[in-house]
Amino acid sequence: MSAAETIHVDGVWRAAASGAQREVLDPADAKTLAVVSEGGVEDTDAAVAAARRAFDQGPWPRTPVAERAALLRRVAELLQRDRETIALTESRDTGKTLEEGRVDVDDVTNAFRYFADLAAGESAGRVIDAGSPDVHSVVVHEPVGVCAMITPWNYPLLQASWKVAPALVAGNTFVIKPSEVTPLSTVHLVKLLVEAGLPAGVANLVTGAGDPVGARLAEHPDVDLVSFTGGLVSGTKVAQAAAPTVKKVALELGGKNPNVVFADACATAEGFDTAVDQALNAAFIHSGQVCSAGARLIIEESVRERFVAELARRAEKIKLGRGTEDGVECGPLVSAQQLDKTEAYVASALAEGALLRCGGKQPEPSEVRPATGYFYLPTVLDQCHRQMRVVREETFGPILTVESFQTEEEAVTLANDTEYGLAGAVWSADTARARRVAARLRHGTVWINDYHPYLPQAEWGGFGKSGVGRELGPAGLDEYRETKHVYENLRPSPVRWFAG
């Protein structure tokens, strides 16, 4: 396998049919990190055909669940064996810190182990009482078939695992298309699947752009399910392309997530410090390039000034630089395009009346921050309101907007005033109020007195324009299965509906 042979079809690594290649850039200095194949429609069709054959004729869908689960566990062990290599790849490819990369590998490992245990521990089917001892009726699970997986650039390996692990243990075959910006860890994952003993044709990979590769996968008549994680605009196109063939569609789209802080959460020094620290974590982890980022701070007016002043003071101290350098807390944005978008959002916010409390520009270059890198300072924008673009739209950058409220009702109204509904948080020392507000928030995940933890056992998904379908948990496995009702008459007899 040469450096640019990153397309995997029917067990063979190959270059693009057209011979086209793409440079993958290191966002810390904009230099070439790797060269990958730039796949097209021909490569995509070949990958789907391989997955179709492997599903219709190959052994994987008929392999016992226990054996499929055992393969996932072998993959988990291989992920831990290669932990440092993969973490370094993820850090250099996405810009995140090396420690974040390590955490990602551990989370991916946990996802593979979780779905292995979940599937292996299930019963053979749900027996239904048909009201007769002569009838055996059971509902069983079967794999969907050929799955197309389109993954994002911010958490390429983690988001791939949320799709690959349940799809495989359910008995499906797949074609995966990672983001053209950050494809490298997905290439490594497919290598590990092969090493673990996955039959040829079950896992296929096409590196290339969303158009044509992702577009072709979404519309392909031999694809039974398409799972997409990314932005609202692209997700809408995926759903439209999939509609004519009525394939199953799972969409995990964007978020504009509220972090609601009541004054009583800040009544003690410890409570205040914790709420500030978690607000920083919510907004600036991975430079804000997180679908669940708490990019909207909604704070009770009585503590607003004190809270925002401390938040800005600490945000200014965040150590920005190349993610592989010791002591760095936040890396660059993933691309020049993302940097341009961040600058445009800040400019529009200031033009619309926001007050800049910190950041709002690129940092000065340093030994750990090359001048050519896509760095942007953590930015806090105060005195924001719902009419601002920066408050309404998903910025996917290190930007935190501040809104305020005076009553609980106002806090709920502000938090729900978004077309998205992915995640959010409530901070309060009053347990009853925290739970009451959490129950009223129209978001798929709500944290109380915390931000950003997720459990592989719990379903992940959103309301509104944050998407359809669920990942993780039992529902995440069910996304990749069909149900079949098997009705067995043990003593068949004529019906005698008609003369004969």
Q: Is 8 helix (H, G, I), strand (E, B) or coil?
A: strand
300 catalytic per annotation = no
358 catalytic per annotation = no
Do the strands 481-489 and 135-143 form a parallel or antiparallel pair, or are they unpaired? antiparallel
Is 368:328 a contact under the CB 8 Å cutoff?
Answer: yes
Provide the 8-state DSSP code for 214.
Answer: I
* Interacting residues of 347 by C-beta distance below 8 A, sequence separation 6+: none
- Catalytic residue, from 147, 266, 291, 384: name it: 291
- Six-digit token pair at 474? 């039992």
* Interacting residues of 149 by C-beta distance below 8 A, sequence separation 6+: 160, 163, 164, 167, 174, 175, 176, 177, 226, 227
Q: What sections of 153-289 are H helices per DSSP?
A: 156-169, 184-195, 215-219, 232-242, 269-284
Measured distance CA(202)–CA(196) in Å, rounded: 12
Nearest to 112 by CA among 64, 51, 70, 55: 70
Per-residue b or e along 303-322, where b marks 16 or more CB atoms closer than 10 Å to that residue's CB: bbeebbebbbebbeebebbb
Residue at 154: amino acid letter: N
Opening angle at CA 186, ends 182 and 192, nearest 5? 155
Q: How far is CA 216 from the centre of its chain?
A: 21
Q: What is the DSSP string of 305-340?
A: HHHHHHHHHHHTT--BS-TTSTT--B---S-HHHHH
Is 412:406 a contact under the CB 8 Å cutoff?
Answer: no
- Catalytic residue, from 90, 180, 252, 403: name it: 252
Measured distance CA(10)–CA(16) in Å, rounded: 14
Nearest to 115 by CA among 158, 72, 145: 72
First to last CA, the chain: 69
Residues taking part in catalysis = 252, 291
